[in-house]
Amino acid sequence: MATVKLLTDAEVDAIPAAKEVFDDIRATRKSDFVNNFWRGLANDPALLKRTWEGLKAVMTVEGALDPLTREMIYIAVSTANGCSYCVHSHTAAARARGMTDAQHAELQAVIGLAGQTNHLVTAMQIPVDEAFLR
């Protein structure tokens, strides 16, 4: 259960500023499904709008990284931050963008390895090599 109300479509429809964002989410994603994250944010239409605008700008436009790579980076951060919802939603998004089982397994392997060496580095308090400070 959330700490805020998850607004239903009817409730969102009653808030013009929220409805406008939901319409854009649906149009951008070409899908009627709007997941719970946005239904929680809809309690504050300004926060909803800013968050969606930011996500749209970073994740959906043409860019230097392909959309699947961006989703895998998102999963990596969400995993390290221990955000269960985010791991679930972005794994679904990555699969929708074509992530194969082999890519998923390799993503996990890198995430696990980074988790291990991050901890080793911190336990040893390794100073940054001069060579890395260009």
Looking at the Cβ atoms of 27 and 134, the one nearer to a second copy is 134
Q: Residues 98-117: x/- map of binding to a second copy (CB under 8 A)?
A: --xxxxxxxxxxxxxxxxxx
Contacting residue, 6, 20, 24, 29, with a second copy by CB under 8 A: 6
Q: Which stretch binds a second copy (CB under 8 A): 7-15, 17-25, 122-130?
A: 122-130
With both helix axes pointing from N to C terminus, report the angle between 67-80 and 101-124 in degrees, rounded to the nearest 10. Answer: 40
Q: Which stretch binds a second copy (CB under 8 A): 9-17, 19-27, 28-36?
A: 28-36
Indicate whether 134 belongs to the interface with a second copy (CB under 8 A). yes
Contacting residue, 11, 15, 19, 87, with a second copy by CB under 8 A: 87
Report whether 70 contacts 34 (CB < 8 A).
Answer: no
- Tokens representing 10 are 């009817």
With both helix axes pointing from N to C terminus, report the angle between 16-29 and 45-55 in degrees, rounded to the nearest 10. Answer: 20
Q: Residues 34-73: x/- map of binding to a second copy (CB under 8 A)?
A: -xxx--xx-xx-xx--xx-xxx-xxx---xxx---xx-xx
Q: How far is the CB of 34 from a second copy (least distance, A)?
A: 9
Kindly state the DSSP code that residue 132 receives in the 8-state scheme. Answer: G
- 3-state SS, 91-117, equals HHHHHHCCCCHHHHHHHHHHHHHHHHH
